[in-house]
């Protein structure tokens, strides 16, 4: 079983990212669960979302405490939260940042970085004044992990937002897939 934890802020789409990842894996024949963890947080407050992917049925319904993969949607959380808490040694850390993987000091982990914020701004993916980073980070997830195919992820994104919005979000995921940098 592959366990995934996503760190973001309310309104950035961490919960939606977990759902998109799970749906893509489900379409490829895997067993999946995806769920959020938050209380009465408001837009901008730190949130977590989780997903699990397995070849076998998944009976675990708790939070993910020892993830194999961590995605971080907000670069400020890299310094504000313990994003590596419980991350397995050699686990994959996927970060929305302009910095290069080797500049971040996470030597115990496989690190992948992409400027998802820059991609969102480049494509005009702005909602309520915030760059939409969840779909580019889904593209980064595909490139960093290989857990699902890019085609499936793009199909899931297009299905979630039909029309121009779906195409823009799919393009964001594709660009992140192509621009991802990793140290492994």
Question: Where are the domains positioned within the chain?
Answer: 2-182
Q: Could you read off the pLDDT of 123-173 as tens digits, one per residue?
A: 999 998 889 999 999 999 999 999 999 999 999 999 999 999 999 999 999
Ranges of beta strands (E only) in the chain are 2-9, 31-37, 46-54, 69-72, 92-96, 110-114, 126-127, 130-131, 181-182
Question: What is the mean predicted confidence (pLDDT) over 67-77?
Answer: 96
Q: Which stretch of DSSP H or E encloses residue 17?
A: helix 14-27
Q: What is the band of 39 on the pLDDT scale with cuts at 50, 70, 90? A: low
Other beta carbons less than 10 A from residue 53's beta carbon: 25
Three-state SS at 74: coil
Q: Could you read off the pLDDT of 111-123 as tens digits, one per residue?
A: 999 999 999 999 9
Whole-prediction pTM value?
0.95
Candidates 3.30.70.3270, 3.40.920.10, 3.60.15.10, 3.30.43.10; CATH matching 2-182: 3.40.920.10
Q: Could you read off the pLDDT of 40-65 as tens digits, one per residue?
A: 556 778 889 999 999 999 999 899 99
């Amino acid at each position: 079983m592959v366990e995934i934890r996503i760190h973001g802020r309310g309104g950035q789409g961490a919960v939606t990212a977990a759902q998109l990842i799970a749906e893509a894996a489900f379409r490829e024949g895997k067993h999946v669960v995806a769920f959020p963890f938050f209380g009465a947080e408001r837009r901008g407050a730190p949130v977590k979302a989780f997903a699990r992917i397995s070849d076998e049925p998944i009976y675990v319904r708790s939070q993910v405490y020892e993830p194999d993969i961590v995605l971080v949607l907000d670069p400020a959380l890299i310094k504000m939260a313990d994003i590596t808490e419980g991350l397995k040694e050699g686990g994959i850390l996927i970060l929305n940042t302009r910095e290069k993987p080797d500049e971040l000091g996470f030597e115990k982990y496989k690190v992948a970085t992409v400027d998802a914020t820059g991609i969102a701004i480049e494509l005009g993916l702005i909602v309520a004044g915030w760059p939409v980073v969840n779909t580019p980070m889904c593209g980064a997830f595909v490139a960093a992990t290989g857990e699902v195919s890019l085609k499936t992820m793009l199909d899931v994104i297009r299905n979630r937002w039909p029309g121009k919005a779906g195409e823009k979000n799919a393009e964001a995921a594709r660009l992140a897939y192509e621009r991802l940098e990793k140290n492994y």
